[in-house]
């Protein structure tokens, strides 16, 4: 499903939600078909022409394992780097990669904690602290994942985006602030603050952030500072505020934390996904 292989557009929300439901049941524990694992890749093949593999890579001596999702076909295709939520690479981020592949994108869900596994919530502060304190480290880990994506033969380097959820959205924004050559950057319930707001002048991507208006982790003051940063940097940017939504509104499992500040919001998840696809159609059409 690369460029030129579609005869008619599909409704993105219907198709994405259908695939998300299917992919969640098809993943670990299922019996995928396809070529055997080789060279650190565990390959699976799912319905409707979506092919997935786990890819091991290394940065600064540490092992990381990300999740690649490919659309069917062999034509060049736009690509999306997916940056997971703070707790680590899980079915939420992997499912997003599969949803994107079903729509014709090459998608790679990176791993910024290591070994491709979520971390215990009790360790989360310890894991995220160094990243929050160091935009340089955050950018380096994002770039390591981006290099894996760009190494895929199908990727059209002129049509590459980065998206992220929670701290993954912060990572995607830091990639943009680093001047990374991206067509678009999208943050979902993403932290907006940075210790290097002056770097916004290096942003070349079009930026979209989708924020819950009732998210206490991203208060109005932080949103205002981000707006000031984007204006000062001369960035092509937009911010969507969603009433009634709090943090992690894209994750159906968010409520398991038992924290009222963290909850799934189906309508906002659908609207923000559509906004992302509208941006992609504008700046990196399929």
Query: Could you tell me if residue 1 is inside a domain?
Result: no
SS (H, E, C) 32-73: CECCCCECCEEEEEEHHHEEEEEEEEEECCEEEEEEEEECCC
Q: What is the pLDDT along the chain (286 residues), one digit of tens a residue?
A: 333 333 333 333 333 333 333 333 333 333 333 333 333 444 454 556 899 999 999 999 999 999 999 999 999 999 999 999 999 999 999 999 999 999 999 999 999 999 999 998 888 889 999 999 999 999 999 999 999 999 999 999 999 999 999 999 999 999 999 999 999 999 999 999 999 999 999 999 999 999 999 999 999 999 999 999 999 999 999 999 999 999 999 999 999 888 999 999 999 999 999 999 999 999 999 9
Question: Does residue 2 form part of some domain?
Answer: no
Q: DSSP labels for 177-234?
A: HTT---SEEEEES-----S-GGGGGG--SEEEEEEETT-TTS-HHHHHHHHHHHHHHT
Q: What is the largest CA-CA distance in the chain?
A: 52
Question: Per the domain annotation, does 79 fall within a domain?
Answer: yes
Contact 48, 16 (CB under 8 A): no
Q: Centre a 10 Å sphere on the Cβ of residue 119 and count the other Cβ atoms it contains.
A: 17
Q: How many domains does the chain have?
A: 1
- Alpha-carbon separation of residue 123 from 93, 129, 135, 137, 166 (angstroms): 20, 10, 20, 18, 16
Residue 50 lies in a domain: yes
Q: What is the CATH number of the domain that holds 73?
A: 3.40.50.1820
Contact 23, 99 (CB under 8 A): yes
272 sits in which H/E element: helix 266-283
225 domain residue, yes or no: yes
Q: What is the pLDDT of residue 48?
A: 64
Residue 3 included in any domain? no
How is residue 55 written in tokens? 């890819």
pLDDT for res 122: 83
Q: Which range marks the domain in which residue 214 is found?
A: 12-283
| Residue 5 located in a structural domain | no
Whether 4 is covered by a domain: the verdict is no
The rounded distance, in Å, linking the Cα atoms of 170 and 247 is 14
């Amino acid at each position: 499903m690369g460029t030129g292989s579609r005869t008619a557009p599909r409704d993105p929300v219907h198709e994405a939600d259908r695939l998300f439901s299917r992919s969640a049941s098809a993943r670990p524990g299922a019996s995928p078909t396809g070529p055997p694992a080789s060279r650190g890749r565990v390959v699976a093949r799912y319905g409707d022409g979506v092919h997935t593999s786990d890819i091991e890579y290394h940065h600064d001596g540490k092992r990381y394992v990300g999740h690649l999702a490919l659309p069917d076909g062999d034509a060049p295709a736009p690509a999306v780097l997916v940056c997971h939520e703070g707790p680590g690479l899980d079915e939420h981020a992997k499912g997003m990669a599969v949803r994107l592949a079903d729509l014709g994108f090459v998608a790679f869900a990176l791993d910024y904690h290591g070994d491709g596994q979520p971390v215990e919530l009790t360790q989360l502060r310890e894991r995220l602290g160094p990243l929050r304190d160091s935009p340089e480290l955050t950018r380096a880990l994002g770039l390591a994942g981006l290099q894996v994506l760009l190494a895929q033969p199908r990727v059209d380097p002129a049509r590459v985006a980065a998206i992220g959820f929670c701290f993954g959205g912060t990572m995607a924004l830091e990639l943009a602030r680093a001047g990374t050559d991206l067509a678009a950057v999208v943050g979902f319930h993403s932290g907006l603050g940075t210790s290097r707001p002056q770097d916004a002048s290096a942003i070349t991507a079009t930026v979209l952030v989708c924020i819950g208006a009732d998210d206490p982790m991203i208060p109005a003051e932080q949103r205002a500072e981000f707006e000031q940063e984007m204006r000062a940097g001369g960035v092509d940017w937009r911010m969507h505020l969603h009433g009634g939504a709090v943090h992690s509104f894209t994750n159906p499992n968010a409520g398991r934390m038992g924290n009222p500040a963290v909850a799934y919001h189906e309508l906002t998840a659908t609207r923000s996904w559509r906004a992302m696809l509208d941006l992609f159609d504008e700046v990196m059409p399929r």
